[in-house]
Amino acid sequence: MLGLRSAIYPVQDIDKARQWYQALLGIEPYFAEPFYVGFDVGGFELGLLPAGDAQRPGPQGVEALWGVEDIDRAWQRLLDAGARALSEPYDTGEGIRVASLADPDGNRLGIIENPHFRVPPVDSVVVIEGPATLAAEGDALEAIEVERIISAPRERVWSAWTRAQELGSWFGQDAQMELRIGGPFEIYFLDADQPARGGEGCRVLSYLPERMLSFTWNAPPDHPTRQAHTWVVVTFETIKAAEGVTRVRLVHTGWPAPSDEAGSPSTEDWASTYAYFQRAWPQVMTALERYLGGQVQA
pLDDT of residue 288: 95
CA 102, 47, 204, 131 dihedral sign is: negative
pLDDT of residue 296: 47
Decide: 226 and 219 in contact? Cβ < 8 Å: yes
Q: Which residues of 104-116 are buried (b: 16+ CB within 10 A; e: fewer)?
A: bbbbbbbbbbbee
Residues with Cβ within 8 Å of 14's Cβ and at least 6 positions away in sequence, in order, are 34, 36, 37, 48, 49, 50
Give 102's strand partners. 84, 108
pTM of the model: 0.56
Question: pLDDT tens digits, the chain, 298 residues: what are they?
Answer: 344 555 778 888 999 999 999 998 888 887 888 887 888 776 677 888 887 643 444 444 556 778 888 899 999 999 999 999 999 998 877 677 889 899 898 888 888 887 755 555 544 555 555 544 443 344 457 889 999 999 999 999 999 999 988 998 898 888 888 888 788 899 887 666 665 666 688 888 888 888 889 998 888 877 888 778 888 999 999 987 778 889 999 999 888 776 666 667 788 888 888 999 999 999 999 999 999 986 544 4
Ramachandran region, residue 262 (left: φ > 0; alpha: ψ -120 to 50; beta: rest): beta
Decide: 142 and 159 in contact? Cβ < 8 Å: no
Residues with Cβ within 8 Å of 245's Cβ and at least 6 positions away in sequence, in order, are 149, 150, 151, 152, 238, 239, 296, 298
Can you tell me the distance from the alpha carbon of 13 to that of 284, in angstroms, rounded to the nearest whole number? 51
- Per-residue H/E/C for the chain: CCCCCEEEEEECCHHHHHHHHHHHHCCCCCEEECCEEEEEECCEEEEEEECCHHHCCCCCCCCEEEECCCHHHHHHHHHHHCCEEEEEEEEEECCEEEEEEECCCCCEEEEEECCCCCCCCCCCCCCCCCCCCECCCCCCCCCEEEEEEECCCHHHHHHHHHCHHHHHHHCCCEEEECCCCCCEEEEECCCCCCCCCECCCCEEEEEECCCEEEEEECCCCCCCCCCCCEEEEEEEEEEECCCCEEEEEEEEECCECCCCCCCCCCHHHHHHHHHHHHHHHHHHHHHHHHHHCCECCC
Domains 6-113 and 144-292 share a fold: no
Domain borders along the chain are: 6-113, 144-292
pLDDT of residue 234: 93
Can you tell me the distance from the alpha carbon of 267 to that of 225, in angstroms, rounded to the nearest whole number? 10
Can you tell me the distance from the alpha carbon of 202 to that of 184, in angstroms, rounded to the nearest whole number? 6
Architecture, CATH, for domain 6-113: Roll (3.10)
Indicate the class that CATH gives domain 144-292: alpha beta
Residue 35 has φ and ψ, to the nearest 5°, of -95, -10
Write the single-letter amino acid at 57: P
pLDDT of residue 191: 64
pLDDT of residue 82: 94
Distances (CA, A) of 141 to 38, 70, 224, 255, 271: 42, 40, 17, 6, 8
pLDDT of residue 1: 32
